[in-house]
Amino acid sequence: MSIILVTLLGMIVGVAAGLLPALPVFTGPMILYLFVNENYPVLHLLIFWMVSYSGTQFFGSIATITTKIPGEESSAIYLPDIDRLGVEEKKQLLFDTATGSFVAGTISILLVWTVITYANPNIFPMLLGYQIQLMAYLFAIFLLIVTNKTKWAAVLLILLGLAIGPKQNYALPNLWYDITFLFHGYTLYMVVLGTILIPSLFAPIDTVSKVEKYTATSKIPNVWVIIKSTVWGIFAGLVPGPSASIATTLAYNTQKESNSSPYNKILAAETANNAAVVIVAIPFFILGLPINQNTLLMSNIMDIQSLSIVEEILRVITPLTLVMICALALYFWLSTHLINWYADTVKVLHSKMKWIVTVILLLLITADLQYSEITAIRYCYLLLGFTAFGFLLRAFKLSPIPFLFAVVLSDKFVWLGVQTINFIVG
Amino acid sequence: MKKIISICVVTVLLVLTFSYYTSKQPTTPITVINMSSPASPAGVFAQAVKKAVGGDWYQSSDCSQGYTAFTNIKNSVVVYNSSVAFAALNKKLKNCQLPKNVHVVMIAQTPMHICKLPNNTTRLERDKVKLGMASMYAVKKHENQFNSHSRDGAVQIIPYSGSGTVLKSLLAGDIEWGWIGAGLANKNKDKIFCEWTTDKTDKTKKFLGNGFPGLAIPDFSINTVLYTADKNLANKIVSMLKKSREFNAYTTTSVFSVNSKPTAQDIDSVNLFVQRMYDTWAN
C-alpha cells in the first residue's frame, strides 16, 4: 500500500514538474530533502525519485507540443519546429512520443536491472577498487569540462566545489579547516537554491502560443526511429552532465527530416531523453557515482541518511524495476489522455508561475532552515553568498552544474585523491 | 524592481511565519547528533541509538558543527567519539572535547581488529604491506611506531573515512590489511580473516602489542560517550536503551562493552585516553 502511495506521489510530482517549466527536473529529489530526516525505507526513496524524474521527461513533451512552452529544458531544442507541424501531425506526435518514451523507459529500466543484478560489486569487488573509482571520477570530470562551453570556468568551478565539500577528512592539512570555516553549516539545498533556483526566478517568461484542442491519435510509430533514439539515450545517459539534454541533442541532430517534416526529429529527441534519465542510475547504483543533477541530489540524500547505495541497491532493484514499469505504463496512458486539460493548466498557471515557484521555494527554504540547525542569520548570510554567486555565474552565462557536481562529489573524490597519493608516493 | 521587492517581502513574511509556527510545536523528538563519520563504528553505534529512541538524526560535518547543533537543538543527545576528539585536538578544532556540565548517558567501548582477505599470505609484522585505517590516527607517528621494532617489515598506513570504507578497500584488493571496528569485522567474518586485535582479553586472536612492541597504544579502542544537556532526558534515554532489545542485541554483536552507570572516574578515563593519543600521535 505504501509503495502504491509513494508511486502515486512520485507521479504527481513528475507530471507537475514535466508540464510546468518553472519546476526543474530535479523537483523530486528536492522534495525528498524535506523528509530526509524521517528515515523512510530506501525503496520508497528510490521509487519516488525515479518515478518523478521519469515523469518530467514524459510530460515535458506535452507542454512543448501543445503550448510551445518547454516543460523541461531538454525539449527546448525542437521548439522552433513546433510551428512547422499541423494540428493533425501534433495529435499523432503526442501519441508517438508517448510510445517512444514508454519503450525507451522500459528498455532502459530493464537494462539497469540486468546490469545491477549481474555486474555488481558483490560479484566484481574490484569495481570498488581505487583505480576503477578514480578513473570513473576523473573521466566524469573530464567530460564535464569538455562538454562545457567555457572550459577554464568549469575547471575553476570544480576546484571551488572540491575545496568546500569534504567532510570528516582528517587526512587534510589544517589550512583546509581554516578555509572551510567560512562555509561552515551550508547545505547542498542552499547551494542549489542560491546558484540555480533563485536566479532562475528572474529569467524572462516565454509566451504561450495559441492552444488548439487535442486528442492523441493512434498511429503506428516509426519503430526504427524509436530504437535508434533509445540507443542514443542509453549512451548519453552514461555521459556526465545534463544527460537528458545531451540525449535530446544527439538524437535530434542525428535524425534526418522526412518529407521536409521535423516529425521524426522530435520523436527521436523525446524518446532519447527518456532512456537517458533512467540509464544515469547505472553508474550511481554500481559505483556510487552520480553523474547529473538528479543523481547528485539523490546521492547527497543517501549520504545524509548514512546509506550506501551500492550496498542497498541489490536488495531493492527488482521491486524498483517492477514499480517503474507500472509507472511508465500509467504515464503512457496519462500522456495520451486528458491532453487538453494539461494544456489548459499550463496556460492558466504559466503567468502565475513565478509566484507559485516563489511560494514553493519559501517552504523549502524554511524546511531547510529547520534541519540545518545553524542560526537564521548565518543561514541568510550563506544563502545570500551562494545567491550572489549564482547571479554572477548567470551574468557571465556560466553553468553552475560543474560547481554543484564538485560539491557533492568532493568528499569521495578527495578521499580517492588522498589514498591514491599515499599508494603512489608511499 | 517593484516585483523584486514584493517577492523579497513575501519571502521574509512566509519564512518568519513558518519558523514561528514550527517553533511552537509542542512535542520535540530526541535528536541524535553524530559527530563521527557514518562509516565508523561510532557512527553505526549512533544509528543504533537513534533506532532505539525513535528520534531524529543529525549528521555533523565535523565535531565543531556537532557541538553547535547540540547547543541549538532541544532534546538532543550527542554521540561523542574519542578518536574524533583526538583528531580535533590535532587539527585545532574547537568544542570537540567532552563538555563539562552535561549529563553522560553511557560510555561504550569497542576494540579494533586487524584483518586481511583469507587468501592473502602477507604477514603484518614481517612484510611490506598497506594497512588501511581511519584518518584520525592514520598519522606518520603511528606508522613509525609500527615499523620501529619490526625486523624487516614495513607497514604503510593509508587513511580512510572509517571502518566501512577500509573494509570496502580491503575487499577490492587495494590494501593488504585493514584496521576495522570489531563489530563490522565480526559481521564480515565469512569474507575476511582477522588475525590481530587491540583487545587484550580476546584469546581467539593475537594481541597487537605482542607483534609490535613499539606501539604506544596497542590497546586502542573507540570510546563512545552519549551525553545530553538535561538530566531527565538522560534518564529517559538510559531507560529506552535498556528496554530496547534491538539495541542490546546490537551492542553484543558489535562487541561494544556498555557502561550505563558511568562515574566521574569513568568520564575522566575517556579524557585521559584522548590525552594519551594526543601525547603519542599529535603533530
Query: Whole domain around residue A184: which residue ranges?
Result: 2-425
Interface mutation target, options B68, B168, B191, chain A, most CBs of A under 10 Å: B168
Closest-CA residue of A relative to B51 is A39
- Distance from A18 to chain B by nearest Cα, in Å? 25
Residues A415, B160: C-beta atoms closer than 8 Å = yes
**ipTM for the predicted complex:** 0.81
Model-level pTM?
A: 0.79
Whether B9 is covered by a domain: the verdict is no
Residues A419, B159: C-beta atoms closer than 8 Å = yes
Angle between helices A293-304 and A309-336 (to 10 degrees): 130
Q: pLDDT tens for residues B169-188?
A: 999 899 999 999 998 899 88
Q: pLDDT tens for residues A29-60?
A: 878 877 766 678 889 999 999 999 899 888 88
The yes-or-no verdict on residue A200 having pLDDT over 80 is no
Give me the pLDDT at residue B133, please: 94
Give me the pLDDT at residue A170, please: 85
Of A344 and B81, more confident: B81
- For residue B19, give the nearest of A129, A167, A369 by CB distance: A369
**What rounded mean pLDDT belongs to chain A?**
83
Tell me which chain A residues have a C-beta less than 8 angstroms from the C-beta of B174: 129-130, 419, 423
* Residue type at position A426: G
Tell me which chain B residues have a C-beta less than 8 angstroms from the C-beta of A366: 14-15, 18-19, 22
Angle at A188 between CA A184 and CA A192, to 5 degrees: 125
Residues A422, B90: C-beta atoms closer than 8 Å = no
Question: Three-state SS for B77?
Answer: strand
- H/E stretch holding A360: helix A353-372
CB under 8 Å to B129, separation ≥6 — which residues? B122, B123, B153, B154, B155, B156, B175, B176, B177
**What rounded mean pLDDT belongs to chain B?**
86
How far, in Å, CA of A241 to CA of A226, rounded? Answer: 23
Same domain for B193 and B154, yes or no, is: yes
pLDDT tier, B24 (very low <50, low <70, confident <90, very high otherwise):
very low
- For residue B93, give the nearest of A177, A366, A375 by CB distance: A177
Give me the pLDDT at residue B149, please: 66
Give me the pLDDT at residue A426, please: 67
Ranking A65-79, A238-252, A260-274, A301-315 by mean pLDDT, the lowest is A65-79
Residues A370, B10: C-beta atoms closer than 8 Å = no
The yes-or-no verdict on residue B199 having pLDDT over 90 is yes
pLDDT tier, A274 (very low <50, low <70, confident <90, very high otherwise):
very high
How far, in Å, CA of A225 to CA of A342, rounded? Answer: 26
% of chain A at pLDDT higher than 70:
91
Q: pLDDT tens for residues B204-256?
A: 999 999 888 888 899 999 999 999 998 999 999 999 999 999 899 888 888 88
Tell whether A177 lies on the interface with B, counting CB pairs under 8 A: yes
- Distance from A274 to chain B by nearest Cα, in Å? 33
Tell me which chain A residues have a C-beta less than 8 angstroms from the C-beta of B92: 174, 177
Give me the pLDDT at residue A213, please: 63
- CATH number of the domain residue B148 falls in: 3.40.190.10
The yes-or-no verdict on residue B137 having pLDDT over 50 is yes
C-alpha distances in angstroms, A274 versus A101, A179, A236, A331? 5, 41, 11, 12
* Domain stop point among B211, B240, B261: B211
Number of CB pairs < 8 Å for A and B? Answer: 121
C-alpha cell recorded at residue A424: 603512489
pLDDT tier, B25 (very low <50, low <70, confident <90, very high otherwise):
very low
- Distance from B201 to chain A by nearest Cα, in Å? 30
Q: Are A144 and A162 in contact (CB under 8 A)?
A: no
Give me the pLDDT at residue A190, please: 86
Give me the pLDDT at residue B150, please: 62
Q: pLDDT tens for residues B89-120?
A: 888 888 888 888 899 999 999 999 999 999 99
Of B232 and A289, more confident: B232
Whether B1 is covered by a domain: the verdict is no
Query: Whole domain around residue B181: which residue ranges?
Result: 112-211
Of A404 and B22, more confident: A404
- For residue A174, give the nearest of B92, B168, B171 by CB distance: B92
Whether B244 is covered by a domain: the verdict is yes
Whether B10 is covered by a domain: the verdict is no
Q: How many domains does chain B have?
A: 2
CB under 8 Å to B275, separation ≥6 — which residues? none
- Distance from B138 to chain A by nearest Cα, in Å? 8
- For residue A171, give the nearest of B65, B130, B159 by CB distance: B159
Same domain for B191 and B136, yes or no, is: yes
Of A371 and B118, more confident: B118
Closest-CA residue of A relative to B155 is A426
Cα of first residue to Cα of last residue in chain B, in angstroms, is 55
Q: What are phi and psi of B157, to 5 degrees?
A: -85, 130
Same domain for B142 and B205, yes or no, is: yes
Give me the pLDDT at residue B72, please: 84
Q: How many domains does chain A have?
A: 1
pLDDT tier, A86 (very low <50, low <70, confident <90, very high otherwise):
confident
The yes-or-no verdict on residue A97 having pLDDT over 90 is no
Q: Are B137 and B276 in contact (CB under 8 A)?
A: no
Same domain for B198 and B59, yes or no, is: no
C-alpha cell recorded at residue B250: 546490537
Give me the pLDDT at residue A378, please: 85
Whether B207 is covered by a domain: the verdict is yes
- CATH number of the domain residue B235 falls in: 3.40.190.150
How far, in Å, CA of A139 to CA of B255, rounded? Answer: 41
Tell whether A351 lies on the interface with B, counting CB pairs under 8 A: no
Residues B18, A366: C-beta atoms closer than 8 Å = yes
* Domain stop point among B211, B234, B249: B211
The yes-or-no verdict on residue A316 having pLDDT over 80 is yes
Interface mutation target, options B4, B8, B18, B50, chain A, most CBs of A under 10 Å: B18
